[in-house]
Amino acid sequence: MYTSKIIGLGKYVPDNVVTNDDLSKMMDTNDEWIQERTGIKERRWAEKSKGETTTTMGVKAAKIAIERAGIDKDEIDFIVFATLSPDYYFPGPGVFVQEALDIKTVGAIDIRNQCSGFIYALSVADNFIKAGMYKNILVIGAELHSYGLDKTTRGRGISVIFGDGAGAVVLSRSENDKGILSTHLHSQGKYADELVLKAPGMGNRWVSDIVADNDPDDVSYYPYMNGQFVFKNAVVRFSEVINEGLHSNNLSVSDINMLIPHQANLRISQFIQRKFKLNDSQVYNNIQRYGNTTAASIPIALTEAWEEGKISEGDLVVLAAFGSGFTWGSSIIRW
């Protein structure tokens, strides 16, 4: 059986930097309040005037990843795009990437698993390659939150957290023992309403209902999060799924060279770091600069860690995520 290996990485974040002080001019909040609860100092928000969308950001990250992979775009034979913020309700952004990159008519699939979306996308791509179906798969995680946030005091618990951006990797067939060793995926739908965006949706309130009511107090089309409950579940599931990945490969915590957790909240990452007794050089965080970019957070952080020389050949790299659904997962990689 083949293995799959990351051969190219890329990221894109908008130029527009939004600091905590900037947010304090929009809502009742301040830098100290935000940093204490999330660790975030600033985030990037897309600019409509520049025509930035989830797809355009994903395409920019993908171009960098393909160039660094050293392959021609037409050697890509499948596309996996993870996002909770597609340009359209349908079709998803995968097909728009195929068109924008002028790649031949390969398959494209969209993954809607929110914060754990990139781990799920990586797992799908990994298994396609291991099965021998594809050779080079473009995997993208991209999010545009800022256009859909409640930027008033009412929505500050959510809007201060999220940022925009995209990350991408090219996953390629390999026949040695390096690459993705395993991926591990889980869900627990009983807690779906604890981190949710209910409208528009066929099973809840569709656009026609919202337009007909024209109710300024209807918050169903803004994201909701039970922050403390999510935090308590996240720290448990992060630990479980990291250990699951290590144990399945007969590895231990001491083998970890780099842990890149989903950038949901710096306090969650710090909790996991303390629990596993990892030092600062073994955990990569960039939420301070970008906020929570959901499906984009891991590929952005992975790309930056690699660019900064924090990941070397032969290193054991662990990726882990937890989020809406609840869904969570991990990937164990021998670089």
To the nearest 10 degrees (0 to 180), the angle between helices 297-307 and 117-130 is: 70
Indicate the SS3 state at residue 72. Answer: coil
Active site residue 247: no
Half-sphere exposure of 108 (CA within 13 A, CB side): 18
DSSP 322-335: EETTTEEEEEEEE-
Buried b (16+ CB within 10 A) or exposed e, 260-288: bbbbbbbbbbebbbeebebeeebbbbbbe
Active-site residue among 115, 136, 233, 265? Answer: 115
Tell me the residue type at 205.
R
d(CA 113, CA 322) in angstroms, rounded, equals: 10
Active site residue 262: yes
Active site residue 285: no
- Are 6 and 136 in contact by the 8 Å Cβ rule? The answer is no
**258-261 and 316-323 as β-strands: parallel, antiparallel, unpaired?**
parallel
What residues contact residue 216 under an 8 Å CB cut-off, 6+ apart? none
d(CA 197, CA 174) in angstroms, rounded, equals: 39
Residue (of 323, 239, 244) closest to 275 by Cα position = 239
Tokens matching residue 235:
């720290």
Indicate the SS3 state at residue 117. Answer: helix
Degrees to nearest 5, angle at CA 141 with 207 and 47? 65
Active-site residue among 20, 233, 262, 286? Answer: 262
Residue (of 13, 114, 181) closest to 321 by Cα position = 114
**Which positions are catalytic?**
115, 262, 292
